[in-house]
Chains A and B, each alone.
Chain A
Amino acid sequence: MIDFLQKLGQTTLTSLGKLGRGYFFLIHTLVGIISVLSRPRLLTKQLYSVGVLSFLIISISGLFVGMVLGLQGFYILSDFGAEETLGVMVAASLVRELGPVVAALLFAGRAGSALTAEIGLMKATEQLSGMEMMAIDPIKRIIAPRFLAGFLSMPLLAALFSAIGVIGGQLIGVGLLGVDDGAYWSQMQSTLDFQDDIINGIIKSIVFGFVVSWIALFEGYDAIPTSEGVSRATTRTVVNSAFTILGLDFILTALMFGDI
């Protein structure tokens, strides 16, 4: 019993300590962003590796998700004779939910894990403390550009995911299953609301980009500097990001679309 209590206390203290470190890390990073703005070259390099290199996985996944939505949507909607509204269904699901959420999950797996491993290894090979000894703040020089790149890339990647998904839905719905092309697009245009659907979806992806970048960079920075420590930190990035994305998605959806 005492053992159990001791363990509970230990775990609580450890996680609270980590939370506190994570918070200070975030503040420090946000302050560091100011100095990144004056040196855009640091940022463009990261935008390439975090954002541009995620293009392929996001596009292909978006295409397939859209195609599946086209198929499933068609079978359900045609039962009610409402296959004309397929465009609405595909676009609304993508823009509101699947775009931001699935793109963020993929982003955490593709870019987040890479960031954690990179920072963790830099720590393990003493690159970070080497910079500190040269009076170069690694948070400003290394972390902040990556954070900003992740934060900026995520909404764009989510938008790309949704756009390609809509085309995938059209390929299947219109091309294969014979939904009227005009109906597909015009129903979508008249039903989807810019404010309610698109802006809310973008807000979600901004929030996800923020937390995924934060989690990924902090896990790397806080990793135990051994091979095992880095591997565990990388796993934690993907798992914690997934939990956070899905949990936040519920909260954001309730706030945006519910009448609470």
Chain B
Amino acid sequence: MKSIKNHLSLVIALLSILFSIQIFTIVDRSVNAYKDNLATNYSLVVVSNSALSEKTIIEADERINTMIELSPDDVIQRLNTGMSTKNMELLKHTLPKFYKVKLKHYPSPGDIESVTKKLLTNQSVTKVENFSQSHDTTYKLLLLFKNVVSLFATSIFVITTLLIFKELRIWQFKHSERMSIMALFGAPTWLRSAVLFRLAITDALITSAVAFGLFAYMSSSSWVLKQFEDIDINIVLFDPLYDFAMLAGVAISLSILLATLIVLGHKEEV
């Protein structure tokens, strides 16, 4: 019972750290997926008094992905109040050219401003509509969400790290006597600390296994999946290979660091 309690304290602290890391990863993936969605739907409208070549526009800024000419037919149809075909054709040629410019990524407000300026340097371009107001609101909301989650994850990380350091002191006290006794009989450092490292690695593996179970369950939970479906985001919540390797790596590294600090901080009793 006492042994389980000893394992639990480190396992829970490590699990909190792994949980905050994975939550941050999920949020980061969600934000990126959302940005991709927005980037697909976002475009600037360029008004030009002469025809523009796509190559020239793409070369104007590396963030520009494609340019599609907007057909003036819809506008002309709305203006068509008994106009002759000849006048219609004349009007079509008089109207400025409209283009939809798509970007490679969802831009920041700075990106929009810079792309707009670059497009306006083209002599033929008379106006660039970038819908900056609605874009700014979406972008700021996204940024706020990401920052709040980052802050939350950092707080958990800091608190659990402090917990781990407290655990370190307890371990130091608990293992110090045994390590000193072993030293009195000539045990080399690796042998003295072997038990400690074995315990630390065992706890890290237990934590990784628990985290794997927890996130594997979460990623297949219909309730969780529905939440992401509702906001139209399709991401990998838990990659059993990459994410597990990352979490196990963090857990094992932290435990080994903890054990190493104890070994380095150990002073032989005189």
> Is the A/B pair a real complex?
no
